[in-house]
Amino acid sequence: MGQPSSAISWPCPEVLPELHFIPPPLATVPRPNPHPPLATPDARHYLQMENDNDDRRPMLWAAIVPFFSLSVIVYVVRIFDRWRRKSTLSWVEASITVTMAANVVTIALTAVATKYGFGTHMPAIPETDGRITVLLVVWMVGGVASGFARISIVSVTLRCTPGSGSRSTKSFLLWTVIVFQALSIVCPVSMYPLSLSPHHA
């Protein structure tokens, strides 16, 4: 009892046996913000991780991607053969060629913009910055051009390749490609405002 109160450590059961140590409420414990402000580098990293986690393709892509690759190879060989014979391309083949070239340019522009810090996989920069609109337009044009090119290539390949299956099989494959290509364009666009809106906190 003769010791000063400053020497008493807390908790002290000898002095206050009826009290027990109560931890502070959970609300007072600082926690990292799961949705940091969009203007910080941490927010860009967080949004990039969020987009990567959401970027899950259906398992059927494992069967469709080789089909795309084979279709592109067949189409390029046919175009090269037409060029070697000095024959004129049809309007379908010409439109596919132009679309593929535009898609390559779009991919190159997106890669340059990403390299020089104008965005990431999806433009994770504040919406007040005008560059986000440019990148979004480039990304959308690339997706639509890629979809048109894939659908057209598959359609022309199925129609011009003998022995590739019955008419119903060709229609099924073509509509499968169309549906999955539409989903690959619509799903990221529908998630875009949710991922990058400043009100999403």
Question: Which sequence spans correspond to the domains of the chain?
Answer: 88-201
Percent of the chain with pLDDT over 90: 0
Whether residue 11 has a cis bond before it, omega within 30° of 0: yes
Could you identify the residue written with the tokens 């666009």?
189
Could you identify the residue written with the tokens 């926690």?
31
pLDDT in tens, 103-139: 666 666 666 665 555 444 444 444 444 455 555 666 6
Q: What's the pTM? A: 0.33
**Contact (CB, 8 A) for 36 and 46:** yes
pLDDT in the model for residue 128 = 44
* Neighbouring C-beta atoms of residue 158, cutoff 10 Å: 19
